[in-house]
């Protein structure tokens, strides 16, 4: 399940927080859960929880491999800064002993990103 929380100030909610957790015990309106990340046990209101339905998931499904001409998005986290790029995949460079790279075209500008950071948009 997903347990939600928030940070608020005078202006209202300024940030939402989510934690993946497993249910240990269920009460009338509350539950004991164990967080997946920290393995910490805590209690919370059932109203703050959302069930994760794994029945419709396919753990064997592989990611779609980007091909030349696909519209792709690249997202990487560098030094706590998220870098997002979107464009048409125009080149894949797979040099032995080096990181596999991709070149994206956005308008008239081409940018290089790591191939592993890509997902296919269309």
The per-residue pLDDT for range 45-82, each reduced to its tens digit, is: 999 999 998 888 898 999 999 999 999 999 998 888 89
At 78 the pLDDT is 83
Output the CA torsion sign for 72, 87, 117, 6. negative
Average pLDDT of the chain to the nearest whole number: 94
- Residue ranges per structural domain of the chain: 2-50, 71-120
| Average pLDDT of the segment spanning 31-40 | 92
Q: Over 90: is that where the pLDDT of 12 sits?
A: no
């Amino acid at each position: 399940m997903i347990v939600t929380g928030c940070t608020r100030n005078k202006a209202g909610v300024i940030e939402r927080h989510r934690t993946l957790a497993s249910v240990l015990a269920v009460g009338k309106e509350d539950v004991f859960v164990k967080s997946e990340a920290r393995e910490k046990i805590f209690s919370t209101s059932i109203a703050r929880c959302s069930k994760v339905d794994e029945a419709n998931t396919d753990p064997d499904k592989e990611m779609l491999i980007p091909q030349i001409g696909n519209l792709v998005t690249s997202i990487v986290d560098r030094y706590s800064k998220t870098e997002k790029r979107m464009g048409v995949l125009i080149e894949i460079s797979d040099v032995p002993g080096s990181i596999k790279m991709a070149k994206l075209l956005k308008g008239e500008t081409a940018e290089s990103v790591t191939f592993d950071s890509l997902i296919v948009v269309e």
